[in-house]
Amino acid sequence: MFESTNISLAVKIIQEGGLVAFPTETVYGLGADALNPEAVAKIFAEKERPSFDPLIVHIASLEDIPRLTRNVDERVYTLAKRFWPGPLTIVLPKSDIVPDIVTSGLPTVGIRMPNNPIALALIKSSGCPIAAPSANKFGRISPTTAQHVRKQLPNVDCILDGGPSFVGIESTVIALNSDGFVILREGFITADDLKTVLPSSNFPVESGNKLSSPGLLNSHYSPLKPIFIEGDNSPKSVEFLKNASLYRGAYLSFSGKTPESYGVVDYLSKTGDLREAAVNLFGALHRLEDNPQVDFIVAEPVPLREIGIAIMDRLKKAAYKYKK
Ligand code: TXA
Ligand code: MG
């Protein structure tokens, strides 16, 4: 494994069917040639990701749309003009060249053009679209730096280091219906942003699948230590909070407040700034997970507006498995 800013070495690895972790504006991705099923299989193995959870295909040019999708929908170009390159993934009917392993057997494929020069150069120079989930082990904290990737995926062939991701939270995933868009996963681009170019749909996503987006599980993004959302009052959180002599808590502050009962305080923001909180979210969770002085984490909730909706989605999923 090597870390590099040398794109040509990474290109060679992609072309030979290997894995490259690369920076995007949202989180780091774990990439392989999207048209090579054996290469894509390595992503699932390395991440220990269940095969029912489909991958996003990353492109660097709109010319890939008609190759990868069927019945090209003109609205894709409207969305692309406004939001690409950027943190928006559009789920579209897939063409035959997209291997079933990429889409977990679904007839649709999620496509996005990332807003990061290293990612775009990697895709262009490799000459293939790149399938990439976030570069973390399944269920764990997403990476926003090359160091985060190395911590969880030490065996990846190559990690391209592009510095910290400047958005910090995953792309918004949408599907299109006859009358507009449906959000499948909350992300940096909000429903209000999308409504500036398309109406939101009145219908649920048409899908033979039970889950409209199979990767949307209740538990995800979890640190290896218990995390609670302040005020959730679950029996387990009460037990941790009552036993200060046994368990050392860390407080993850959003507003800047620093309750005295916590030995460690980390910040999403010191001023209640939602964009700053998104950028800091996964980095703060990694720091607290790594801090030997911390046994559990209590996160201050953020307001459910703008990107706060996506931040709360991530925090709730991180806390889910520790609730019971
Ligand atoms: O910002 C991001 O989206 C990052 C960077 C690396 O691009 N990628 C990312 O990938 O977050 P991942 O695999 O961690 O999450 C992608 C999610 C899947 O779990 C699934 O819910 C949804 O996108 N998805 C992908 N393809 C889909 C499809 N065909 N239909 C419905 N949902 C899909
Ligand atoms: Mg992920």
pLDDT band at 207 (very low <50, low <70, confident <90, very high): low
pLDDT in tens, 97-150: 999 999 999 999 999 999 999 999 999 999 999 999 999 999 999 999 999 999
Per-residue pLDDT reduced to its tens digit, 2-61:
556 689 999 999 999 999 999 999 999 999 999 999 999 999 999 999 999 999 999 999
Structure tokens at 77: 């170009």
Residue 208 has pLDDT above 50, yes or no: no
Q: Which residue has the tokens 């991530």?
A: 314
pLDDT on residue 215: 63
Residue 131's DSSP bridge partners are: 32, 57
Predicted pLDDT at 212: 63
For the Cβ of 54 lying below 6 angstroms from any atom of ligand 1, the answer is: yes
Determine whether the shortest distance from the Cβ of 25 to ligand 1 is under 6 A: no
Contact 270/258 with Cβ under 8 angstroms? no
Work out the angle between the directed axes of helices 274-290 and 308-320 (0-180°, nearest 10).
Answer: 20
Q: Is 56 in the pocket of ligand 1 (CB under 6 A)?
A: yes
Kindly state which CATH superfamily the domain 2-195 is placed in: DHBP synthase (3.90.870.10)
**Dihedral class, residue 15 (left if φ above 0, else alpha if ψ from -120 to 50, else beta):** alpha
253 lines ligand 1 (CB under 6 A): no
Which of 36-50, 65-79, 118-132, 195-209 has the lowest average pLDDT?
A: 195-209
Domain ranges across the chain:
2-195, 227-323
- Of the listed ligands, the closest to the CA of 54 is 1
Q: Check if 213 has its Cβ closer than 6 Å to any atom of ligand 1.
A: yes
Q: Is the pLDDT of residue 272 over 50?
A: yes
> Is the pLDDT score of 245 beyond 60?
yes
> Atom of ligand 1 at shortest distance to CA of 114?
7
Please state the rounded mean pLDDT for residues 68-72. 94
Place of tokens 């040509």: 8
How far, in Å, from the CA of 243 to the mean position of ligand 2? 33
Task: Using DSSP, state whether 299 is helix, strand or coil.
Answer: strand
pLDDT at 211 over 50: no
| CA 319 / ligand 2 centre spacing (Å) | 16
**Does residue 132 line the site of ligand 1, with CB under 6 A?**
yes
Out of 122-126, 210-214, 238-242, pick the least confident. Answer: 210-214
Q: Does domain 227-323 have CATH number 3.40.50.11030?
A: yes
Q: Is residue 170 predicted with pLDDT exceeding 60? A: yes
Mutate to test the pocket of ligand 1, among 47, 56, 130 (most ligand atoms within 8 A of CB): 56
Distance CA 221, CA 40 (A): 22
Using a 6 Å cutoff on CB, does residue 215 contact ligand 1? yes
Report pLDDT for 1.
Answer: 52
- Inter-residue contact 296 to 227 (CB < 8 Å): yes
CB of 85 sitting under 6 A from ligand 1: no
CA distances to 42, 152, 310 from 13, rounded to whole Å, are 13, 20, 33
Q: Residue 89 CA: which ligand 1 atom is closest?
A: 3
The protein residue whose alpha carbon is closest to atom 32 in ligand 1 is 213
Q: How many residues does the chain have?
A: 324
Query: Which atom, in ligand 1's list, is nearest to the CA of 94?
Result: 29
CA of residue 244 to ligand 2 center, whole Å: 33
Please write the tens of the pLDDT for every residue from 297-312.
999 999 999 999 999 9
Q: What percent of the chain stands above pLDDT 70? A: 95
Ligand 2 centroid, distance to 139 Cα (angstroms): 8
Count of other CB atoms within 10 angstroms of residue 160:
26
pLDDT of res. 280 = 98
Spatial CB neighbours of 227, under 8 Å, sequence gap ≥ 6 = 285, 296, 297, 298, 299, 315, 318, 319, 322
